[in-house]
Amino acid sequence: MRRTAFLVATTVFLGGSPLGRATILTPAGYEGRCHLTHQTALVLFYKDKEWLSLEARYALEAVPPSPGEMSYAYSTSSGSKDEDVLPPARLAWVVPVPAGATPSTPPDGDALQDLYLLTHPSMKSEYDLKTRRPRGLNRFGTDAFNERSVSVSGEAVAWVVFDGSGETALRDLKEWIQKEGFNGLDVGLAEDYSQRGWTFAVGVLEKPEKTGVLGGAAFQFDSTEVVLPLRFQAHVGEFDFALYTFSEKELETRSLAGWRIRGVRSWERANREAWFKGFVPLDRTTPPTGLVAYLEKLLESSTASISPQELLFYVWEGDRLNGYGRTTAEQKRDFALPDKQAAKATGSPKQGSSGRGAASRARSWQTGYGRAGR
């Protein structure tokens, strides 16, 4: 009887409550929840090694009183007022990573903002229009020149990666959550990663604001393809997503349509090679100096024999991930982009194409799906 009571209590604490469906953990008993509204990922993939950096803008909001909330997106239409929600003492960000991952150095906010400006050229620069300077936007879609806009500087997060992998890593994660007094782990999705032999990283943010930017999470690990734990983002709310990838290899990218992730149209119009092939050699762009310095630092740590300018540069984005009627958990496979040549050699199904016709078809299908899904 006592054992049964303990198991029930553990289930409620880790995943059975209305709050138990997130990757951002809040202290047990906290009445609000944390919604990620924007996420940015930067990947360097070189010689079967991946450097993954993540950044997220968060917002603390009220929990609807009804226990039957919809899982596809957070909503505050129930009458609860977000302005009444006070920030907790701290937050914990959980990120699944492949076994053997170690913390790395994240890019700073200035480099990510410069990347956004580079890949979202204004109509003035795109068409050489003689017009006044357009309004500037930051990477979160707010006016960069408005003093009231949310700061884009990240809040420092202290990261730790659990040793081991699989069930051992998941057990250690659960024990850490209970010891630290947090709540909200999505146990079902966490088990999916543990069954694949992954481990978990946890970053703690002390004294969060009501809304802000979680400073960069950065990890390095061995991998034969670009991987990103997008399925684990199923219950963080509806968010916009940007992914910048640098690699010396061509990647299979057709699977992006299934995630409703696509190339940046203004960038593709300004770079014909991005439109036809899906990438642009970095040396044919004018990359921000801060970004080049960051990539150089990562490549030096791997004793790479190439410079950042020799990398291929991919830019993708998605809006309203976890939008109406669709969550990232519905994907049968997690996000992964294999090397195109390796995929051909192993005879795996084709997942991408460098031809304009195929790119257009994928884009048309994806656009139509987006309309149907909303």
Q: What six digits make up the tokens of 308?
A: 């950042």
**Predicted confidence band at 6 (pLDDT cuts at 50, 70, 90)?**
very low
Burial class (CB in 10 A: 0-12, 13-18, 19+), 122: middle
Average pLDDT rounded to a whole number, residues 167-176: 97
Burial class (CB in 10 A: 0-12, 13-18, 19+), 218: buried
**Predicted confidence band at 16 (pLDDT cuts at 50, 70, 90)?**
very low
Distance (Å, rounded) from C-alpha 30 to C-alpha 184? 10
Q: Looking at the predicted structure, is the pLDDT value of residue 317 above 70?
A: yes
Per-residue confidence (pLDDT) for residue 314, from 0 to 100: 97
Average pLDDT rounded to a whole number, residues 8-34: 63
Is the dihedral angle over the CA atoms 127, 128, 131, 134 positive or is it negative?
Answer: positive
Distance (Å, rounded) from C-alpha 186 to C-alpha 308? 38
Q: Looking at the predicted structure, is the pLDDT value of residue 77 above 60?
A: no
Per-residue confidence (pLDDT) for residue 81, from 0 to 100: 59
Number of domains in the chain: 1
Q: Residue 108: which domain range? A: 2-373
Task: Identify whether the C-beta of residue 301 lies closer than 8 Å to the C-beta of residue 224.
Answer: no
Q: Looking at the predicted structure, is the pLDDT value of residue 36 above 80?
A: yes
Looking at 20-142, list the stretches that DSSP marks H as alpha helix, in order from N- to C-terminal side.
109-119, 123-127
Q: Looking at the predicted structure, is the pLDDT value of residue 152 above 70?
A: no
Per-residue confidence (pLDDT) for residue 287, from 0 to 100: 92
Per-residue confidence (pLDDT) for residue 359, from 0 to 100: 39
Q: Looking at the predicted structure, is the pLDDT value of residue 216 above 90?
A: no
Per-residue confidence (pLDDT) for residue 162, from 0 to 100: 97
pLDDT in tens, 247-260: 999 999 989 999 99
Distance (Å, rounded) from C-alpha 141 to C-alpha 156? 22
Q: Which helix (H) or strand (E) holds 96?
A: strand 90-97
Task: Identify whether the C-beta of residue 54 lies closer than 8 Å to the C-beta of residue 39.
Answer: yes
Count of C-beta atoms within a 10 Å radius of residue 4: 8
Query: Alpha carbon of 98 to those of 47, 193, 350, 374: distances in Å?
Result: 16, 9, 25, 33
Per-residue confidence (pLDDT) for residue 137, from 0 to 100: 60
